[in-house]
Amino acid sequence: MKQLYLAVILMLLSVSAFAECYLDGVLYPAGTVISGLTCQADGSWR
């Protein structure tokens, strides 16, 4: 049972690592820097 929980947690964490951001209708991967803004893992620009 512990292995199942661990597998689910790891799966959720790996999905969140591939977050993407939209800027002017274009999709960018997390970590992209444009005009001083960085695409964050939650899909926002900061």
pLDDT of residue 19: 77
22 in a domain, yes or no? yes
6 in a domain, yes or no? yes
Count up the domains in the chain and report the number: 1
What is the Cα–Cα distance from 19 to 29, expressed in whole angstroms? 6
46 in a domain, yes or no? no
pLDDT of residue 27: 95
pLDDT digits (tens, 9 = 90+) for 2-38: 888 778 877 766 655 567 999 999 999 999 999 999 9
What is the Cα–Cα distance from 30 to 21, expressed in whole angstroms? 7
Range of the domain at 17: 2-38
- pTM to 2 decimals? 0.57
pLDDT of residue 17: 52
44 in a domain, yes or no? no
Q: Can you tell me whether residue 7 is helix, strand or coil?
A: helix
What is the Cα–Cα distance from 13 to 6, expressed in whole angstroms? 11
